[in-house]
Amino acid sequence: MKEHSTNIDKMNKAVDDSASICNNTAEKVDKLITNSMSFMEKIQSSFESNTAKANKVISSLGSTLKTEKLQDDLAMESKIMDALAVQTKKEKVLSIQLENVEKQVNDLLFKKTGMETYILDVIGILSDIIKTMDSMITTILRKHLAEKLKPVFAMLLQIEGVLESSFILKQGGESMSQSKKEDSKPSAKSPVKSEFEPKGKEKLFRQEPIIDQSEDEEPNENELKRRKAGEAEMDEHQRIVCEAEAKEKTEIEAQTTLESLFPEWTLQRIQNEVEDLPSQYWLKLVMSFEIQNTKDSQLDLLKTPKSFKFRSFVRVVNVLFVDNDADHFLFSFYLKHMQQQYETWSASKITTM
């Protein structure tokens, strides 16, 4: 019995020891689990914070890249616009230069026409100097002036566009140009060509008698007809010169009238004239590039209730500065190629560029 009691006590003691060990182990396991949970929570919170930071950094990088790309695009667009503006200015300058050159060419052509007329008049006058009725004076003038006037006639004919070899000085009463048919006819008089075209080493005064008996005769009918034809030609030249002068005078008067009616304008001048002359006022065509009559595109005038408005172009063009040369070029182009439409005073606003 004692042994049995002893064994039971030992067993109870062993059970108690095992229970205490189990309790300790359970406490340690619970503590370990608690520590593991707290560690996992810390790791999760750290991961979430790191993820938020990474997302924020990515967003900032994306916005930075977008900003840089936008700046690059704006810089590229600005360069393109600058290049386009420079090219446009060059084209405007070239167009104005071309227009000036065309005007100069037209002026030169007009002067050339007048010069040709003057050349013909000078040739006729020089020919009339030689065509005297007195045989003695005619022969003396022909022999003295033939060699001296030959370079003058050659220069004038070269300017006019006629070959020098096709011009021969004629005797009194004969015209400067003669048909081949008349040249081929025989003449009883002394040859004209030998007298009017002296050679380089030929003397002006010969030892032969100067007076030509054949020239003492009265001028025949053909000679009178040729003289009348020459006078008619001189009258025709004079008429052409008068018409050219009248045309030039008319053009100058028209240009002066146009400039007085449509003077050069600036925004300041328009404002001053609108304030000084509010009753009725006409302006040159193409004063505005606006279509919509909005408040932002107009200029308020406080001193006068009236104003003007011009609409000329179909498309809207934004002009950032006032360039008189470019404006006049556009005005000329519109007046030449587009339909002209005029408007007088209207509304109470002034449409600006």
| First and final C-alpha spacing in the chain | 129
Cβ atoms 339, 311 nearer than 8 A: no
**Residue 248: predicted pLDDT:** 86
- Amino acid code (one letter) for 223: E
Structure tokens at 304: 């006068």
* Tens of pLDDT, residues 84-105: 999 999 999 998 989 988 988 8
Structure tokens at 300: 């308020």
| Whole-number Å distance between alpha carbons of 85 and 257 | 35
* Tens of pLDDT, residues 174-201: 444 444 444 444 443 443 343 334 444 3
Query: pLDDT grade, residue 228 (50/70/90)?
Result: confident
| Segment (H or E) for 351 | strand 350-351
- Report the range of poorest mean pLDDT among 5-19, 114-128, 140-154, 315-329: 315-329
Identify the three-state secondary structure at position 298: strand
User: Residue 46 burial (CB < 10 Å; 0-12/13-18/19+)?
Assistant: exposed
More confident residue, 34 or 121: 34
Cβ atoms 302, 279 nearer than 8 A: no
Structure tokens at 256: 């002066």
| Whole-number Å distance between alpha carbons of 135 and 214 | 9
* Tens of pLDDT, residues 115-164: 777 777 776 766 666 555 556 666 666 666 666 666 766 666 665 544 44
For 241-269, give the DSSP string: HHHHHHHHHHHHHHHHHHHHHS----HHH
pTM to 2 decimals? 0.24
* Segment 234-254 mean pLDDT: 82
Structure tokens at 347: 């509304």
Identify the three-state secondary structure at position 7: helix
- Amino acid code (one letter) for 142: R
| Whole-number Å distance between alpha carbons of 228 and 232 | 6
What are the Cα distances from residue 329, in Å, to 66, 91, 221, 260, 262?
A: 43, 11, 62, 19, 15
Query: pLDDT grade, residue 80 (50/70/90)?
Result: very high
* Segment 195-218 mean pLDDT: 43
Scan for tokens 């000036």, then name that residue.
Answer: 100
